Amino acid sequence: MNLLAFNLPIVVLLPFFGAILVAWSSKLNRLAAAWASGGIALLSLAFLVPSMPQVFGGETLIQSWSWVDSIGLQFAFRLDGLALLFALLILVIGLLVIFYARYYLASKDCMGRFFAYLLMFMGSMLGIVLSENLIQLVIFWELTSITSFLLISYWQQRKDARQGARMALAITGAGGLALLGGVLLLGHVVGSYQLSDVLLAGDTVRSHPLYLPILVLILLGVFTKSAQFPFHFWLPHAMAAPTPVSAYLHSATMVKAGIFLLARFFPVLSGTEEWSWLVGGAGMITLLIGAYTAFFKNDLKGLLAYSTISHLGLITLLFGFGTQLAAVAAIFHIINHATFKASLFMVAGIIDHETGTRDMRKLNGLIKYMPHTAALAIIASAAMAGVPLLNGFLSKEMFFEQAVHASHISSFAWMIPVLVTIGGILSVAYSLRFIHDVFFNGEPVDLPKTPHEPPRFMKIPVDLLVIVCLAVGIFPAYTVAPLLNVAVVGTLQTAAPAYSLAIWHGFTYALMMSAIALSLGVGVYFMRHRFFAFYERYIQHIDARRYFNIGLQRLFSAAIHVRAKFDKGSLQNASAWIIFASLIFGGYGFLSQSSPLLGTREMLPVDAVTLIVAIGLMLASLLTIVFHRKRLLVLVVIGVVGLVISVGFIKFSAPDLALTQLSVEVVTIVLLLLALYYLPQKTPREIGKIRLWRDGLLAVFSGIGVTLLTLSVLTRDYDTIAQYFLENSLPGGGGTNVVNVILVDFRGFDTLGEIVVLALAGLGVFAMLQGMKLTAPKHDEKGRIWNTDKHPLIMQTLTRLLLPMMLLVAVFIFLRGHNLPGGGFIAGLIASIALIVQYLANGIEWTGNRIKVDMHWSIGVGLLIAISTGLVAMGIGYPFLTSTFTHLHWPVVGEFEVASAIAFDLGVFLVVVGATVMSLVQLGRLSYASHHPDQAPLQDATTSEVK
């Protein structure tokens, strides 16, 4: 088997599966999680490396599997130069961060949780940059928001970590929703969600009336994720995360996700005035605000956070220029920024780790105590400032050159070089402040710890990154040029324009701007006290987070006000509003139509049996209303309603639905009986005649409305999709039971979603009831003592004899389901009833000691089997969950059909059994515990836990 044929999904998915291993490995010893996560990241990189020669050779690798072909969805991955660049940044810097974090985290920090979160985030980022399908890209995009939330809030005991994580999730999550809208519109315009098709349709997209909505929605996703104005304020508050998280998320990965999207859609969306104004304008404002604010921050990570915002604005501004050379400069600065900013964050973490503070007002003269760390910080800060012979200088020169070129666009464009030079001045000033205030400028002031160098290996990641800054700055043609060239080709989707990475280009406007930035930046720093006084007096009180929190609080207040008006904490009141609104809109629909209410189609005759059954249904419904206060009695009447509906299904040739309805009725009755055991036998009497009249009128009018709507539909001819399924059930799905073929084949994806929901519901019920203690009633409302014979002998004997037969019926119903009424869902309910009856008749302790099945495993294995059937189909080149069938001939048995859908149905069966039995047994255990308060905890095989 050729692993290179599907190495890209392995690269993406390996960190997700590895996170499980890492979380488990932490139980072995404290450092096992770090070594395991490093090995998994290295393994992902190893799977990526074999494809690199093809990308450097000019190829674009696409590995695709069918998912839902009917709507154009594929499980597809793409590796071109741009994707390769970002994948290398994610994996290589991720490896360095893992190595660094192993020394950074304290002994009290949970290593398994940290590295599991980090690997899940790594996989999410790899999914973004390697996705060929846009819907798939959006899914991974949202996963980065969720996993970054977990990482930012890693120190859950800290309020600032929780607040920063919530802010980041709210803003980036909202942006992700906008991005989804933009991607859906883009796919609609292009006619495909495949990136290969979208990248070729730039002219079509730009000329389409939906171009501006597409652009705005996608840019909302970009700006929120990459902290661009006006969404820039969430990034500094995410600095409450551990420093390894900051070094990874906020220099090389998460905030670069939006930048990646700008580069990815550059050939499709750029080249218009709207693009230049929106992208360039946001980039310019972010560049200046970030640089200005960074200069005044006293916290090391705060300074680096705002400098990150500024450099992200610089890259965004370059893409906003819209030229190919500007895109080259943007890609180059992405590489350089990732290296020097990751190293600076690690230096900040080292300083915090070894001194106990990040406050630059206390951190002075550290070069005497930490000379190695000081040298690394000075080189990385100089690279950030754009000092010659370092990588930042080269990309900043290209940036200044593009700013000069953009000054000729319009009469006001002369301001662009001026503004970017101001940004460069501030960049030099805050870089110099990072160096001078921390490592020089006198002696330390009241440090919590005596400063010293960190462990030798903790500096290795910083050493490597700083070496890259030097090597790229001195020998760009031999270090970064090949990778930059393929990344530019992947971005532009055409040959790269002519550009030079030479250190010296002669005396140019760009060189002059660099000289001005360096000299004036030094001057601004030495005049910092005047600027600080101005900032503290006029600017410091302006806090975007404050306005965000005010807006959020007002939104919550409005929601609470609306809820108070309509909800009032009553389910009846909320239901009344819903029914009332339905009546209003439904009545408007009836009255506004010009055609007659009823059609001309002839009604079917009513036979006597149908009439009797219908009258029985109406009587049972009325009795439910009359006796609704007597809970046990009304439960019996509701059971009659369910039975009559089952008979109706049989009448209209739906035996599968009848079997399902009967099985669900039994399970529901058991569930309600277990719940009613703890409730009063009678429902409290309704208070107020107004409410009774309101509910009565709503019931009458809604009944009339539903009747009229039903008659309006049934008295007209209408087309049905039933004929398609009737004609294709046997030739397409290999089964004569159309209902089952629909469930496991034609609409298998829906069924998979339903059993996932069922599994989550079962696990939720289990978790909710776990550890709950309720006092069981010992007598009824009239004082009569409950029967103490909880498990009658006759019932015990009968149920034990019936168990094999009931399970045999479940197996029979399961095996015949593809061709005759039955299937996995019905069989699962029957098997659940068989097991639940044993618990009811013989007790939890007796049954649990004999049925050694963990229902958690039943749910998990069932989901795994169901999903695996879809993945197997994809593995052999068919859409997800595609089934097949054949006929076999065995001696004695003869010819019979075998369908792959039976495996999917088995997964359904196991999930239904697991979720149903686990939920009902957990509810029944409350009764057991209330009657045995002094007994030792009960061991139950259904959960493999002590209860």
Average pLDDT over residues 873-892: 78
Answer whether residue 266 is part of any domain.
Answer: no
Task: For residues 828 and 112, give the distance between their C-alpha atoms in angstroms, rounded to a whole number.
Answer: 37
- 104: tokens are 């950074």
Q: Report the percent of the chain where pLDDT is more than 90.
A: 41
Do residues 398 and 546 share a domain?
Answer: no
The answer to whether 814 touches 775, Cβ cutoff 8 Å, is no
Per the domain annotation, does 263 fall within a domain? no
For 729, other C-beta atoms within 10 Å of its C-beta total 22
* Rounded Cα–Cα distance for residues 277 and 262 (Å): 14
Residues 494 and 558 in one domain: no
Q: Residue 69 — φ and ψ, nearest 5°?
A: -60, -30
Token output for 848: 């649990």
DSSP state at residue 451: -
Tell me whether residue 336 is in a domain.
Answer: yes
Flag whether pLDDT at 320 surpasses 90.
yes
Instruction: At 177, list the tokens.
Output: 């929703």
Place of tokens 């019932």: 795
pLDDT of residue 209: 94
Question: At residue 471, what is the residue type?
Answer: A
45-77 per-position pLDDT tens digit: 999 999 999 999 989 999 988 877 777 778 899
Give the contacts of 282 (CB within 8 A, at least 6 positions apart): 219, 223, 228, 229, 313, 316, 320
- What's the confidence (pLDDT) of residue 324? 92
| Nearest residue to 420 (alpha-carbon basis) of 329, 297, 538 | 329
Token pair of 929 as six digits: 């515990």
Query: What does the pLDDT average to over 351-378?
Result: 90
DSSP string, 507-571: S-HHHHHHHHHHHHHHHHHHTHHHHHHHIIIIITT--HHHHHHHHHHHHHHHHHHHHHHHTTT-H
Same domain, 428 and 486: yes
- Is there a domain that residue 653 lies in? no
Nearest-angstrom CA–CA distance, 129 and 718: 47
**Residue 548 and residue 489 in one domain:** no
User: Residue type at 398?
Assistant: M
Q: HEC profile for 892-933?
A: CCEEEEEECHHHHHHHHHHHHHHHHHHHHHHHHHHHHHHHCC
Q: Report whether pLDDT(800) > 50.
A: yes
Q: Are 578 and 694 in contact (CB under 8 A)?
A: no
Q: Is the domain of 539 the same as that of 462?
A: no
Q: Does pLDDT of 743 surpass 90?
A: no
pLDDT at 944 over 50: no
Beta bridge partners of 896: 888
Number of domains in the chain: 3
Q: Are residues 495 and 541 in the same domain?
A: no
Mean pLDDT to the nearest integer, 826-835: 90
How do 73-79 and 61-68 pair as beta strands? Answer: antiparallel
**pLDDT above 50 (res 571):** yes
- Whether residue 480 is found in the same domain as residue 546: no
User: Can you read off the two tokens belonging to residue 263?
Assistant: 């580069």
H-type helices in 744-854, by residue range?
748-769, 793-816, 824-842, 844-848
For residues 798, 801, 803, 806, the Cα torsion angle rounded to the nearest 10 degrees is -90
In a shared domain, residues 469 and 331 = yes
Instruction: Name which of 318-322, 608-612, 886-890, 939-943 the model is least confident about.
Output: 939-943
Question: What is the rounded distance in angstroms from the CA atom of residue 403 to the CA atom of residue 531?
Answer: 27
The answer to pTM > 0.85 is no
**Same-domain pairing of 472 and 344:** yes
Q: What is the mean pLDDT of residues 916-933?
A: 71
pLDDT score recorded for residue 932: 56
pLDDT per position as a tens digit, 150-179: 999 998 888 888 888 899 999 999 999 999
pLDDT at position 927, please? 62
Residue 884: domain span: 735-780+790-947
Same domain membership, residue 509 and residue 410: yes
Do the domain assignments include residue 376? yes
Residue 67 domain-assigned?
Answer: no
Q: Percentage of the chain with pLDDT > 70?
A: 94
Q: Whose structure tokens read 């004695």?
A: 892
Quick check: is 488 in a domain?
Answer: yes
**Which amino acid type is present at position 548?**
F
Q: Which residues of 913-939 are buried (b: 16+ CB within 10 A; e: fewer)?
A: bbbbbbbbbbbbbbbbbbeeeeeeebe
User: Does residue 544 have a pLDDT over 90?
Assistant: no
Output the average pLDDT for the chain. Answer: 86
Q: Are 91 and 48 in contact (CB under 8 A)?
A: yes
- pLDDT, residue 541, reads 66
Identify the pLDDT of residue 258.
Answer: 93
Is there a single domain that holds both residue 418 and residue 546?
Answer: no
Residue 432, pLDDT score = 93
Q: Is the pLDDT of residue 646 over 90?
A: no
pLDDT of residue 935: 54
Confidence of residue 424 (pLDDT cuts 50, 70, 90): very high
At residue 946, the pLDDT reads 40
87-143 pLDDT per residue, tens: 999 999 999 999 999 888 887 888 889 999 999 999 999 999 999 999 999 999 999
Q: Does pLDDT of 818 surpass 80?
A: yes
Q: Residue 61: which of 85, 86, 79, 49 has the closest Cα?
A: 79
Beta bridge partners of 64: 76
Q: How sure is the predictor about 1, in pLDDT bands with cuts at 50, 70 and 90? A: very low
Residue 786 CB neighbour total at 10 angstroms = 12
- Residue 398 counted as domain residue: yes
> The tokens 């660099």 sit on which residue?
514
Mean pLDDT of 215-235: 92
pLDDT at 333: 94
753-777: pLDDT as tens digits: 999 999 998 888 888 887 777 666 6
For 550-572, letters b (16+ CB in 10 Å) and e give eeeeeeeeeeeeeeeeeeeeeee
Q: What is the pLDDT of residue 784?
A: 65
Neighbours of 886 (CB within 10 A): 9
Last residue within a domain, chosen from 500, 526, 552: 526
Rounded Cα gap, residues 247 and 774, in angstroms: 50
On whether both 460 and 357 belong to a single domain, the answer is: yes
DSSP string for 205-241: HHTSTTHHHHHHHHHHHHHHHTT-TTSTTHHHHGGGS
